[in-house]
């Protein structure tokens, strides 16, 4: 009787394993560290944004192995400097999530969290924003002066209130 019960359990487990749906490949993970400089002319002078970031990049795939989403946890500690006046501020520390969704109409980016924080200035770009690769904002919740300036063509212009 015990042998028969064991055989039935084994047979049921084997049948369940064969009937299980295909599993998507596990996400991949990569750590990226970058130092970038964005510099240019604005209405408040020549600005330089020194960006020091670390990103944990996760790539998600469907059952067929197609990339369906990229999720990036970004931390930064930066400086923003007005090269005309020499005035400089710490910009950070920051922590936000940026997700790339692949849709039939092309990729869409969703950023959530604290993306800009000028130390001592009560100047933040924070909340949730959905945008296209060209920077056009599709949805925004929270103050996003730097993202809005980026969508208008000059990301550095968004920092001008800091230097007023």
Average confidence (pLDDT) over 81-110: 95
Q: What is the pLDDT of residues 11-62, one digit of tens each?
A: 444 444 444 455 678 899 999 999 999 999 999 999 999 999 999 999 999 9
Instruction: Using the predicted structure, report yes or no on whether residue 94 has a pLDDT greater than 50.
Output: yes
Q: What is the pLDDT of residues 116-143, one digit of tens each?
A: 999 988 899 999 999 999 889 999 999 9
Provide the pLDDT for residue 45: 97
pLDDT of residue 34: 96
Q: Summarize the confidence of residues 100-126 as an average pLDDT.
A: 93
Structure-model confidence comparison of residues 18 and 152, the more confident one: 152
% of residues, the chain, pLDDT over 90: 74
Three-class DSSP category at 65: coil
The SS3 of residue 123 is strand
Q: How would DSSP label each residue in 134-150?
A: T--EEEEES--HHHHHH
Q: What is the model's pLDDT at position 19?
A: 46
Q: Using CA atoms, how far apart are residues 17 and 149, in angstroms rounded to an integer?
A: 54
pLDDT at 5 over 50: no
pLDDT value of residue 24: 73
Residue pair 159/80 in contact (Cβ under 8 Å)? The answer is: yes
């Amino acid at each position: 009787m015990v042998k028969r019960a064991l055989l039935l359990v084994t047979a049921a487990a084997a049948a369940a394993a064969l009937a299980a749906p295909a599993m998507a490949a596990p996400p991949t993970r990569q750590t990226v560290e970058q130092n970038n400089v964005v510099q240019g002319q604005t209405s408040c002078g020549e600005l330089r944004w020194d960006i020091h970031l670390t990103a944990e990049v996760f790539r998600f795939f469907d059952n067929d192995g197609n990339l369906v989403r990229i999720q990036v946890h970004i931390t930064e500690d930066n400086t923003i400097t007005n090269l005309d006046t020499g005035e400089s501020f710490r910009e950070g520390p920051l922590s936000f999530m940026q997700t790339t969704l692949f849709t039939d109409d092309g990729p869409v980016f969703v950023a959530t969290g604290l993306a800009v924080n000028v130390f001592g200035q009560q100047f933040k770009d924070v909340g949730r924003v959905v945008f296209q690769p060209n920077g056009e904002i599709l949805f925004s919740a929270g103050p996003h002066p730097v993202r809005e300036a980026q969508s208008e063509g000059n990301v550095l212009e968004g920092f001008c209130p800091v230097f007023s």
